[in-house]
Amino acid sequence: MQLTAGANLALPNSDVMVKIKTSVPSHLGLDITAYILDASTSKVRGNADMIFYGQTHTANKSVELQESAHKSPFETTLHVNTNLLDSSVGKIALCATLDGQANISALQDIQIELCSHNQITATALVNSASKTEKALILAEIYNHKGTWKFRFVNQGFNGGLQPLAEHFGVVIANEPTPSAPPPPVETPKPASTINLSKITLDKSRPSINLSKNDGRFGRIAINLNWNRNPENAKKPSRFNPFAKTKGIDLDLGAMIQFKNGHIDLVQALGKRFGQYNAPPLMQLQGDDRTGASSDGEWLYINGNCWDQIERIVVYTFIYEGVPNWASTDAFVTIQIPQQAPIEVQLTESSPLGTCAIVALTNTNNSIQAQREVKYFKNQEFLDQHYHFGFQWKAGSK
């Protein structure tokens, strides 16, 4: 069923996905956000009701955002389970915003698909060329007299992500404007505000220092995502020159050194998935070998034990596929509670199969995040460069 603006239909069941597909120019960033709105006020009940790149799901996974790994083609999915929503929720607004000065007309037409049980129930199309705004309210999932429905909205919104979020009642933490001299004491931001800033570590800004008064950072979530690149599907893997692959398979890993000198690592190769509440205090959440997950691979680090950790080097390696980093569009996002998300993109190309992405160093119980993006033949050569001192042998997944 093809929907026009304003058209609606009842959801086929309580568990649905909304897919947003388009193509984004390389110099722009497109953000998909969802706002969980109170039935009586049509505003968020708190900042936990804004789902975006810095907060990708609710606590019970009733609403979950799976972000696109690349810009062309761009595909992001919103997963909603209405049975898990609080009874006070009346609507979920699904929106899109562009960063910078460009407006929606810079995109290709936006295709929206409502899916249930992997079947497309309805589609809708946004004619991007006709849009002069920086933001769009794409669609709504709403409760009408006890029945959950989907509506294609296609409504432009003047302003970017911050005014859109404020329109739905989100309280934004404003970044202080630099001045000279700086104030002697910085007033802490209220805990009820949300930070929309996204920190990108690149050559112009390779590092950042993050601190908390108690040195306890909570769960540090590191996500690796990439373009699986089906064009490489017929090329041989480096482990089997005669086998056909399913595209590039990146694996996430990390080496850790503790304050007491102990070293350890986690990676899927060798089935070293680690554990969260005991050494090595970090754990891989599975291994996306199929490339089917748009969520990529996750590594969790126990930041409440940061005072025990000296340093961590996060890396990735091409387990399957030709080492062609430029075609992976790979990036790592570091999410730390009450901190702006940190993103590191693997922009350089190399024929080598392993890449050190970011180093996290304990500096007086703060986290010094340093962009690395250095390439090595394999993990053993990476280890030698960073002087951990592991004993290496051949392994498999």
Could you tell me the pLDDT band of residue 228, with boundaries at 50, 70 and 90? low
- Does a structural domain hold residue 125? yes
Name residue 322's amino acid. V
Measured in residues, the chain has a length of 397
Unique residue bearing structure tokens 């409440």: 304
- Does a structural domain hold residue 350? yes
Question: Last residue of some domain: 121, 149, 167?
Answer: 167
Please check whether residues 376 and 243 belong to one and the same domain.
yes
pLDDT score for 172? 83
Cβ-count burial 299-316 (b if 16+ within 10 Å, e if not): bbbbbbbbeebebbbbbb
pLDDT score for 290? 46
Give the whole-number percent of the chain exceeding pLDDT 90.
59
Please check whether residues 8 and 106 belong to one and the same domain.
yes
Cβ atoms of 120 and 111 within 8 Å: the answer is no
- Does a structural domain hold residue 353? yes
pTM: 0.64
DSSP state of 44: B
Residue 51 lies in domain: 2-167
Residue 124 CA to residue 122 CA, distance in Å, equals 7
- Does a structural domain hold residue 294? yes
Order of strands across the sheet that contains 2-3:
2-3, 119-126, 110-116, 15-22, 74-81, 63-66
Unique residue bearing structure tokens 């899109």: 96
Helix (H) or strand (E) holding 75: strand 74-81
> Above 80 in pLDDT, residue 213?
no
pLDDT score for 235? 42
Residue 75 CA to residue 110 CA, distance in Å, equals 10
Name residue 78's amino acid. L
Mean pLDDT of 41-61: 91
CATH number at residue 107: 2.60.60.30
Tokens for 76?
């992001």
- Does a structural domain hold residue 194? no
Q: Is beta strand 309-320 parallel, antiparallel or unpaired with respect to 249-258?
A: antiparallel
> Above 80 in pLDDT, residue 58?
yes
Mean pLDDT of 141-154: 96
pLDDT tens per residue across span 307-357: 999 999 999 998 766 667 877 878 899 988 878 889 998 877 888 999 999
Please check whether residues 6 and 137 belong to one and the same domain.
yes
Please check whether residues 221 and 362 belong to one and the same domain.
yes
For the ranges 79-83, 227-231, 260-264, 365-369, the lowest mean pLDDT is seen at 227-231
- Does a structural domain hold residue 247? yes
- Does a structural domain hold residue 281? yes
Mean pLDDT of 26-36: 89
Radius of gyration of the chain (CA): 22
Please check whether residues 142 and 205 belong to one and the same domain.
no
For the ranges 29-33, 89-93, 107-111, 171-175, the lowest mean pLDDT is seen at 171-175
Please check whether residues 368 and 260 belong to one and the same domain.
yes
Please check whether residues 18 and 149 belong to one and the same domain.
yes
Q: Look at residue 177 and give its three-state secondary structure.
A: coil
Please check whether residues 150 and 213 belong to one and the same domain.
no
- Does a structural domain hold residue 342? yes
DSSP state of 349: -
Please check whether residues 150 and 269 belong to one and the same domain.
no
Please check whether residues 147 and 226 belong to one and the same domain.
no
Please check whether residues 162 and 231 belong to one and the same domain.
no
Total of domains in the chain: 2
Please check whether residues 149 and 256 belong to one and the same domain.
no
